[in-house]
Amino acid sequence: MTVDDEQIKYSGLRFTRLRFDPQASFASQFSAGNPRRGVYVLTFADGYRYVGQTIDIVARLAAHRRRWFDITDVAFRPVPTAKQLDPIERQLIESVGRTHSLRNIALTSTPFPSPTLSALVDPRELTDWFAVPADESMFDRVDDSAMRAASLHKYQELASHSEFPEIVRLLALFVDSCLPAPRRTERRVWALSSMPSTGRTASSRRLTTLSVGPIEALVISDNGRANADVVRGFLNVAPPVGKARTTFARLVLRRGISSRREYGYASIGPVRRVSFDSLSGLEKLLSDPVVVQQARNLIVSLMFKGSTVYGRYHDFNLADHIVK
């Protein structure tokens, strides 16, 4: 990549660098008659790139900005005809991907999505979900009265916890921020359990676990009945790459989070596990755009792998509070 008077070269093609102001409209940078159809490359704070195509760059960037809060740079190249968009985009993805990690590739790390996922939602929609959110309320949720009845006693136990309202609020925030198409994939691709018995001891118990595919995405625990007011847990996110590892570590430390480390799962390989020692710590995590983006990256890659093995533990009673 070379930069010269607001010009950037990718794959031998010259791009115009757009001024990026998180608050201002991009429309002011395009006078009447200037072409808006073309290809573009986004640069993010974690070092990733995103290659895309559009028939209206102003509208597309506005959509990206609503969900991707860590964009630092935008490069745009007009394309004369719509037929040229696909081949040029493919050329760019191949070229830029040789030297940079691509966010649109990271979000679809499984080459062929599972039949389970494809039957529920267009897989390509997941990669665009956070840039152009769909109205999920138009889709019906799956339900199962027998499962509701079976999990009711555990739900009631969780609902009696003094921190239940805050737990529900943060679960809803996590789903809204990090989990695409929640209504269509509920129980089949992701699952939410109340008071699971996993790893329970006298001084530690899980209050709720949200799992995606084969692993946990978010776990909230306390220190047992005697110290139920001490609520803690962990969030799994995609491991940052390259220099972004240092950037991510510094961001987490600034948020006052207690620990972060690599954690290996036999089914998917390493993830970055970030622990929090209070619900306010979890809220700090979910307010950080870099942390949220890494959580999204992991979740979408997990969704591509297929159904969750924890669907039989899903608590529809708790999910009623979470899924909008």
d(CA 77, CA 95): 15
pLDDT for 133 beyond 90:
no
Most confident by average pLDDT, 80-89, 114-123, 127-136: 80-89
- Residue 110 reports pLDDT greater than 80: no
- What are 194-205's pLDDT values in tens digits? 999 998 888 899
CA-closest candidate to residue 265, choices 299, 240, 236, 291: 236
Bridge partners of 54, per DSSP, are 38
Q: Is the dihedral of CA 231, 276, 307, 294 positive or negative?
A: positive
Using DSSP's 3-state secondary structure scheme, residue 83 falls into helix
pLDDT tens digits for 147-163? 999 999 999 999 999 99
Q: Which pLDDT score is estimated for 5? A: 43
**Sign of the alpha-carbon torsion through 308, 310, 313, 319:** negative
DSSP-based three-state secondary structure for 248: helix
pLDDT of res. 4: 42
The structural domains of the chain, with segments of one domain joined by +, span: 3-106, 136-322
pTM over 0.75: no
φ/ψ of 88, rounded to 5, equals: -70, -40
CATH topology of domain 3-106: GIY-YIG endonuclease (3.40.1440)
End-to-end Cα separation, the chain, in angstroms: 43
- For residues 211 and 118, the model is more confident at 211
CA distance 251 to 243: 13
CA–CA gap between residue 310 and residue 213 (Å, rounded): 8
State both tokens at 105. 């590739």
Q: What is the pLDDT of residue 322?
A: 95
Element spanning 149, H or E: helix 145-159
Q: Above 90 in pLDDT, residue 47?
A: no
Tell me the mean pLDDT in the region 88-109.
76
